[in-house]
Structure 1
């Protein structure tokens, strides 16, 4: 068990890391985190010897929230409703914390916490998309990369004012869902980007 002062330092570092990574993504440096936490670099590195360990600890809550969003959507008997909820809730989560999506999408094979969960989550999302397609509600040319494209594009929502961010995220998600809905007027999409390949490969999927 950590001493009270050591536990306080650890908590401050994690709080600071969440704020800094949410604002700047994973490009933020360890020194920036230490400065925001009000501790010296030596204290930071004593608690978290590598940046990846800090990232894993800082985003544990977000990862659990992401898993719950996906599991709830997959459990919905209406796959299109479940798919819509995934797009909306993950977009809101993304808007609150840009760093989380950076970490989730990272191809870094040393991102232990994310590697352990990412492939399973992506497989669930593939299955959910297939069910929604089978019901004729998700456009036939949809690929998992399209959902990842929405999440990557949604990182820009983190720049919106705090008071408007959730509303902006839900509006963006509604526009994305409308674009992904099957319709007789759907125009053919350009070549699908290979966004999922790197993260699935890094996760051993």
Structure 2
């Protein structure tokens, strides 16, 4: 069949319809790949820390290494993006603590909830404690959280509830120790973190009150060594 001039606009319209859809499809695929990569990275980092190879993350996400590196050229970029949500949660915690009219109560809330946040995502602890010189947003967010906690500590000291010799490095020690908790499950790790945070709060108090601690958790290392 010989095409006529009147067929041309119809064929052109079909071509335009296909080409108009193509970029949107590609953008959708790229977005899906990005989300799969981030989901895989969060899961792997939370379970195993930050030392997991990028190729393993690509495999877990179901994409090729080239796709992963196209979206996230460095592990630093991937870690930063993966934990932005947790960093925002950290900000919300310290803001809630600062808003508390009782500085000591606000300080205790921050210690307890930040320890739990870190216990839920082991990778976030490593990211929070790492120096990422090129991750400006993450570094700025971390600095904001630490300065806010410093201000809260100053208020709690002025109120006579926080011991005078507390320094922010003490909080870093707590987070490092909290990040070292190993348990058979995330639930057990969180339970152990809650108990550890309660012990830390008692240690930071200017006049320790030895109230009941949260329930103890069964820790894998202690069980293996026959300590409990």
Q: Give the structure-1-normalised TM-score.
A: 0.84
Q: Find the aligned partners of 2:196 and 2:159 in 1 and give their Cα distance.
A: 24
Question: 2:42 touches 2:82 (CA, 8 Å); kept in 1?
Answer: yes
Q: Find the aligned partners of 1:53 and 1:85 in 2 and give their Cα distance.
A: 31
Please give the secondary structure, in 2, of the residue aligned with 1:157. Answer: coil
Q: Find the aligned partners of 2:35 and 2:184 in 1 and give their Cα distance.
A: 27
Is residue 4 of structure 1 aligned with residue 28 of structure 2? yes
Question: 2:84 touches 2:138 (CA, 8 Å); kept in 1?
Answer: no
1:53-104 CA distance string (max 9 Å, x none): 1111101110100000011001111010001001100000000111112111
Structure 2 unaligned regions, length at least 5: 1-23, 210-228
- Choose 96-105 or 77-86, whichever is displaced more: 96-105
Structure 1 unaligned regions, length at least 5: 186-205
Is residue 128 of structure 1 aligned with residue 152 of structure 2? yes
What does residue 196 of structure 1 align with? none
> CA RMSD for the aligned pairs?
1.8
Q: Give the structure-2-normalised TM-score.
A: 0.76
Give 2:122's match in structure 1, choosing from 98, 120, 130. Answer: 98
Give 1:118's match in structure 2, choosing from 142, 152, 157. Answer: 142
How far 1:130 sits from its partner (Å)?
0.9
Larger Rg: 2
What does residue 156 of structure 1 align with? 180
Question: 1:157 touches 1:168 (CA, 8 Å); kept in 2?
Answer: yes
- Choose 101-110 or 128-137, whichever is displaced more: 101-110
Question: 2:98 touches 2:148 (CA, 8 Å); kept in 1?
Answer: yes
Please give the secondary structure, in 1, of the residue aligned with 2:127. Answer: helix
How far 1:32 sits from its partner (Å)?
1.8
C-alpha change, 1:25 and 1:49, in structure 2 (3 Å) is: same
Is residue 143 of structure 1 aligned with residue 167 of structure 2? yes
Give 2:38's match in structure 1, choosing from 14, 24, 32. Answer: 14
